[in-house]
Structure 1
Amino acid sequence: MNFKQSLLQNPIFPFIAEVAQKNQIPAYVVGGFVRDLILKRPSKDIDIVCVGSGIALANQVAEHYQKEHEKEVSVATFKNFGTAMLRLGDWEVEFVGARKESYQRHSRKPIVENGTLADDQNRRDFTINALAISLNEQDFGDLIDPFDGLGDIRRKIIRTPLNPDITFSDDPLRMMRAIRFATQLSFDIEPSTFEAIIRNQERIKIISSERISEELNKIILTKKPSYGFNLLFASGLLKLFFPEMVELQGAEEIDGKTHKDNFYHTLKVLDNLCAYSDDLWLRWAAILHDIAKPVTKRFDKKVGWTFHGHEERGARMVPEIFRKLKLPMNEKMRFVQKLVRLHLRPIALVKEGVTDSAVRRLLFEAGDDAEALMKLCRADITSKDHMRVKRYLDNFEKVEKRMAEVEERDKIRNFQPIITGEMIMETFNLKPSKEVGMIKVQIREAILDGIIRNEYEEAYPFMIEQAKKLGLSPIK
């Protein structure tokens, strides 16, 4: 198969081919770009393998590009890896010399030697990534496919070029990558390849949490992340780096009463949410919204299974999970924590009826994340009873309408009471103390309950009244 016409549509390829030819360096387009070209997927990253020095070829390409286009091109060089990267227009192009690799058991960092194109294709993780297209004059555009990667693309199969046990033992991150590619492309993992993942699952322990989470986040950002999580669960990998999620799996029955399998419920919520949002951290909130159900699960003979307080306990678990997975311990984590803590609140409003007071409190606590919270709550309706789902979703629309009305009228989201701590201390000649905090809370609660408006004329007399109950009088 020849891709000459496809390559000629992008002037970068004939340009690189010309530079390589002048310097008598065999060069090839390899890996993900070739795979995506065949799959007709958009790609802005180009990998070039040459037989020789990839850094030298990159510098020569940059030099010729600058002369021809009168535009400076900077080359980022990574000598330890023998690679160089440069940007040509909208394209990011990485150059590397063909190499062969060998591994030591305690590390995924290979011992690298110069090699041929065949050596380079042998070291690739999967057949669909071991494809190469020639940029050489005598066979420009020819597909070089030693492992039938093209056939695997047509069959929608993820398979290793060589023995999968060696492939995964050498670099265990490839197990995560296999599942990630299967999820992104909606491919199957070839049975013997998947069995090798199961056999080598313990090897994932030599991989850093950062690298694991990087692959996990790519799975979470796919159109149907549940597919990837099911593969992670079935392979045994998930329990090794995210045991809290595995604990959700299973349904227990006592006296004929059964609770739902919270693992599969969580995956359904996650998939539902993908229809509303592609925000990674909102999807993490879906993953963690019921994470504390296993530790809060109780059976009561009268009411059956309960998970009281799982939202608060789950919120307390979020920082620990983020820290362990080396996810960001910043506003992203706090956003997820907030949504886990609040995820039952809109559902409670639907059940109890929507009062202005309850809406004010929800708006105050959710702040700028109120819309994200409502998306999570909509996704959390997973009943098989379609009429029940429709009823809940209709009620959510009523809640959202009331939220908009209350916010427009009261401006309660992220509000600050008109009476500040400084005003309280000045009025009663107090230093920072428990009494100041108590008065502030009473004023805030009164505003949220609609007892007073957040205006000085109403809040000041209320402050005086609350202070009297504590034995305090304003200074003259």
Structure 2
Amino acid sequence: MNAINESIAQIRIHTNSDFYIVGGFIRDFLLKRDYNDIDLILSEDALTVAKEFAYNREGSFIILDEANAAARVILKNENLVIDFSRMKGKDIVEDLMERDYTINAMALKVGQDGGVDWDNLIDPTNGKIDMENKCIRMLSEKAFQDDPLRMIRGVRFAAQLDFDIEDITAKSIKKHSKYLMTSGAERISHELFQILKCNGTHYYFNMMDKHLDLLNKIFPEIEPMKQVGQCKYHVVDSWAHSLYTLNVAESIIYADGYFENHLREAYEEHTQRIFSNGHTRIQLIKLAALFHDIGKPSAKWTDETGRIRFKGHEITGMEIVADISDRLKLSNKEKQFLCKIVKEHMWPLTLYKENDVSGRAIYDLFKNFGEDTLDVLLVSLADMIATRKLLHPHEEMGMYKVHIEYLANNYLTRFRELMDLSHVLNGNEVMEHFDIDDGKVVGQILEDVRKAIFFGKIPPEKERAIHYIEKGMFQ
């Protein structure tokens, strides 16, 4: 709070005009939530004040909308982002009435001394009362007409704050849902990934599908999933199964004590890692769980006995997920991850059915998935539980859980440290010691060393690795 107070006081030095703190900062402060950004409304000279402030504080100055006098100042040292905007309308009340939801339509006037008086909160739409009642309420339907993205932002606020969307607001969102895709793909993707951060993503995706009619605008591919999927192994359609799989995945991830401590800690650390574009692995795992069966409608066929089959749904699903990744403007790394999980999510189950957990079988799985191994194991476990629990609600899933834990433990204790062999032997050392300049040959030699260590033929020691290579070369 000190950094914000100091910044506000300094901004006051640069202008004698009225300015106000508005929006999310007020909401989060009253809810005692963390905050590191603040929105300011100035009656005039917003760009000039922002630029002067950025210069004096050695911050980054970014113009967001020159026509509407909107700019951003980033103070990296204070981990603070301040947005400056010119007031819309003749006064602050008119400006607030142009906002999306009542909980974001509150303001505080900054005094001439740079201070604020919380007792004089400007709240023309009773946003504080809605906030206390945990209610997301629109200001008017015009908000969605002016910017359709506000509809999905409402879901994001509900997910982040654990609030409910008020009935009239929900009906209005459903009424205007067809306009959502007029918003930019990057903006939609940003809101989706904010929802994917939250513990109950499956609940809010279900809400967006059944009650708000939003999700099929973003992912039209889910509609065919509602028409297929019921077969010998599934009592619900593919979409219901996929939502349930996401639900199960979240229950595993956020459970306390589902896995033994060492495995739980490994998953917690792994899933919270930044993957790409600021997105964490857990966000992408959730998407993979949701879309693991998205290829079933296009792969559906009936065999000679009349039994419905979906052989090849992994391949068609991978192609569909690639298109979705492009639409969401995901990075190539994120796209490749999702495609890999969708394409190969049946692999752990195949090993289970074939009762094959031999060293060769699990090595091939680990080699294929590398650092994504824990992710595919989690999706596979969630998929199996979501399938079997609906078929046989009282069935214990202990055996498949043990299978997944066995694979995960082998990956963590035997394979993970071998993905990078540089602590044992690196490519340059192989080239120099054996006078080899062919990169492919060097790569194959290192792979042979990796296998030898994994299968216990040699310890992870440089001298033993070199001796092993020499022995192999001159046999």
Q: Normalized against structure 2, the TM-score is what?
A: 0.74
Aligned partners of 1:257, 1:311: CA distance in 2, in Å? Answer: 16
What is the rounded CA distance, in whole Å, between the counterparts of 2:183 and 2:246 in structure 1?
26
Contact 2:229 2:238 survives alignment (8 Å):
no
Deviations 1:400-426 (A, max 9, x none): 3444576389x58999xxxxxxxxxxx
State the Cα distance separating 1:310 from its structure 2 match: 1.6
Q: 1:131 aligns with which of 96, 106, 112?
A: 106
| Deviation, structure 1 residue 44 | 0.1
Shift in CA distance, 33/356, structure 1 to aligned 2, threshold 3 Å: same
Q: Once the 2 structures are TM-superposed, how far is the Cα of residue 150 of structure 1 from its aligned partner? A: 0.8
Q: Distance in 2 between matches of 1:237 and 1:22?
A: 44
Tell me whether 1:315 sits opposite 2:318 in the alignment: yes
2:230 paired with 1:244:
no
1:95, distance to aligned residue in structure 2 (A): 1.5
Report Cα offsets for 1:429-473 as digits up to 9, x if no partner. xxxxxxx9xxx9xx99xx89x9x99976897799xxxxxxxxxxx
Unaligned runs of 5+ in 2: 254-266, 273-280, 423-439, 459-464
Aligned partner of 1:335 in structure 2 is: 337
Distance in 1 of aligned mates of 2:127 and 2:37: 19
**Structure 1, unpaired ranges of 5+:** 1-8, 101-114, 416-435, 463-476
- Alpha-carbon distance in 1 for matches of 2:398, 2:148: 45
- 1:272 and 2:230 equivalent? no
Q: Equivalent residues in 2 for 1:184-195 (5 A)?
A: 184-195=160-171
Q: Secondary structure at the match of 1:94?
A: strand
Does structure 1 residue 356 correspond to structure 2 residue 359? yes
For 1:82, the equivalent position in structure 2 comes to 69
Task: Answer yes or no: is the 8 Å Cα contact 1:182–1:189 preserved in 2.
Answer: yes
The equivalent of 1:222 in structure 2 is: 198
* 1:96 is the counterpart of 2:88: no
**Cα pair 1:233 1:239 within 8 Å, conserved:** yes
TM-aligned CA deviation for residue 22 of structure 1: 7.7
Residue 348 of structure 2 aligns to which amino acid in structure 1? P
- Displacement of 1:339 in angstroms is 1.4
Q: Give the partner amino acid of 1:75.
A: F
* Distance of aligned partners of 1:386 and 1:401 in 2 relative to their CA distance in 1, 3 Å threshold: farther
What TM-score comes out, normalization by structure 1 length? 0.74
Q: Give the letter for the 1:336 counterpart.
A: L
Matches within 5 A, 1:20-59: 20=12, 23-59=15-51
- 2:376 maps to 1:398: no
Larger Rg computed on CA atoms: 1
Shift of 1:252: 6.8
Spell out, residue by residue over 1:10-54, the C-alpha distance to the aligned partner (whole angstroms, 9 max, x if none): 353365247537843222111111111111110100111122222
Structure 1 distance, partners of 2:152, 2:173, is 9
CA distance in 1, matches of 2:123, 2:29: 14
Contact 1:368 1:414 in 2 (8 A): no
CA displacement at 1:257 relative to structure 2? 8.7
Distance change >3 Å, CA 14–CA 403, structure 1 → 2: closer
8 A Cα contact 1:127 1:148, kept in partner:
yes
- Indicate the SS of the match to 1:144: coil
Query: Equivalents in 2 of 1:289, 1:257: separation in Å?
Result: 16
- The residue type equivalent to 2:149 in the other structure is L
Query: Is structure 2 residue 168 aligned with structure 1 residue 179?
Result: no
Q: Deviations over 1:96-140 (max 9, x none)?
A: 12114xxxxxxxxxxxxxx42112101111111111122225973
* Aligned equivalents of 1:154, 1:42: Cα separation in 2: 17
Overall identity of the aligned pairs, in %: 30
Secondary structure, aligned partner of 1:247? helix
Matched residue, 1:148: 126
How far apart, CA to CA, are the structure 2 residues paired with 1:322 and 1:257?
A: 29
Matches within 5 A, 1:409-420: none
Counterpart code for 2:397: V
What is the match of residue 106 of structure 1?
Answer: none
Cross-structure match for 1:372: 375
Aligned residue for 2:257?
Answer: none
CA separation of 1:206/1:80 partners in 2, compared to 1, >3 Å: closer, same or farther? same
Q: Cα RMSD over matched residues?
A: 3.7
How far has the Cα of 1:305 moved from its partner?
4.2
Counterpart CA distance in 2 for 1:157 and 1:17 is 33
Q: 1:363 to 1:224 in 2, by over 3 A?
A: same
Write out aligned runs for 1:423-462 (5 A). Answer: none
For residues 144-182 of structure 1, the C-alpha deviation after alignment (integer angstroms, 9 at most, x for no partner) is: 110011111111111111x22x22122111111112212
User: 1:125–1:27: structure 2 CA closer, same or farther, 3 Å change rule?
Assistant: same
Q: Give yes or no for contact 1:407–1:413 (8 Å, CA) kept in 2.
A: no
1:13 — aligned with what?
Answer: 5
Deviation at 1:94, TM superposition (A): 1.5
In structure 2, how many angstroms separate the alpha carbons of the residues matched to 1:408 and 1:289?
A: 25
**CA-CA distance at 1:81 after TM superposition:** 3.3
The 8 Å contact of residues 230 and 238 in structure 2, kept in 1 or not, is answered as no
Shift of 1:375: 2.4
What displacement does 1:374 show? Answer: 1.7
Partner residue of 1:469? none
What does residue range 65-80 of structure 1 map to in structure 2 within 5 Å? 66=56, 72-78=58-64, 79-80=66-67
